[in-house]
Amino acid sequence: MTGTPTVPFDQRDGHIWLDGEFVEWKHAKIHVLTHGLHYASCVYEGERVYSGNVFRLREHTDRLYRSAQILDFEIPYSKEALEAATAQLIELNGIVDGYVRPVAWRGSEQISTSARASRIHVALACWSWPSYFDPEAKKRGITLETAQWRRPPPSSSPCQAKASSHYMIATLCKHHAEANGFQDALMLDWRGRIAEATSANVFFVRNGELHTPTPDCFLDGITRQTVIDLAREQNVNVIEREILPDELDSFNECFVTGTAAEVCPVSRIDQHAFMPSAITFDLMTAYSDRVHNRRGVAVHD
């Protein structure tokens, strides 16, 4: 990311939508015995705002509701109400280009493994956020370290939910990578195959074709899906398959994709070097055009 924020996130100005009401940012609080804090019964989304509109808003909303269903709770607002509140919040906070964080969690009525009596809370926050990675690092291509933790098998974790519990090992891996001078970490799955970065999907280029891991134990990201569509529109062959670490030297380009990361070149994974080139740069441009609606594509569903 672009460094430690100058203003802590709990001390910012503006408003947050919390359980159906717009409240002042500093007053958006939860109780210390909230179930979502203790037992990770929490799902969320990350959405990007471009020129005041959320890119692929309905897809993000749909995934939030699917994630909640997978974690066995129901969001107590309609999708239309949540999207309307999102638009109002963006306008209220004066966000032109930024980030929206919808989050839903079990409350503090019951603290035990079972929490069916807990109320479901929902919040929306948004803030200006021009770039996830430092712009200079992104220009050169970020560096990744192979992580020491691995993505578990889908039989061990509900991998298709965007749930807070999945990001504990991502934080550990990213901290370790940063301590060693890298920008992020490359995570393998439980089989030792390449999976993703800590919060972004990964792509490789070889012989003019795009290779990307099959998302069978991690999220099939919305940005990932967009980039695959863009590549196919440019007649680039996209191959989704298992990819092993010992293949890294056979690829000449690498990049990661995510709502926060967008399309970001990778210059090195451990000792393996990559040179961002035509396909990476073309997809970066195409993605920028798409999110800014420069090709007549609707960005607010």
For 11, phi then psi, to 5°, come to: -120, 15
The reply to whether 162 belongs to the active site is: yes
Question: Which of 250, 237, 149, 243 shows the shortest CA–CA distance to 201?
Answer: 243
Catalytic residue among 26, 138, 162, 174: 162
In sequence order, the 6+-apart residues with CB closer than 8 A to the CB of 282 are 234
What DSSP string runs through the chain? --SS-SS-GGG--SEEEETTEEEEGGG----TT-HHHHH--EEE--EEEETTEETTHHHHHHHHHHHHHHTT---SS-HHHHHHHHHHHHHHTT-SSEEEEEEEEE-SS--SS--TTSPEEEEEEEEE---SS-HHHHHH-EEEEEEEEEEPPTTTS-TTS-BGGGGHHHHHHHHHHHHTT-SEEEEEETTS-EEEESSSEEEEEETTEEEEE--SSS---HHHHHHHHHHHHTT--EEEE---GGGGGG-SEEEEEETTTEEEEEEEETTEE----HHHHHHHHHHHHHHTTTTS--S--
Positions marked active-site: 162
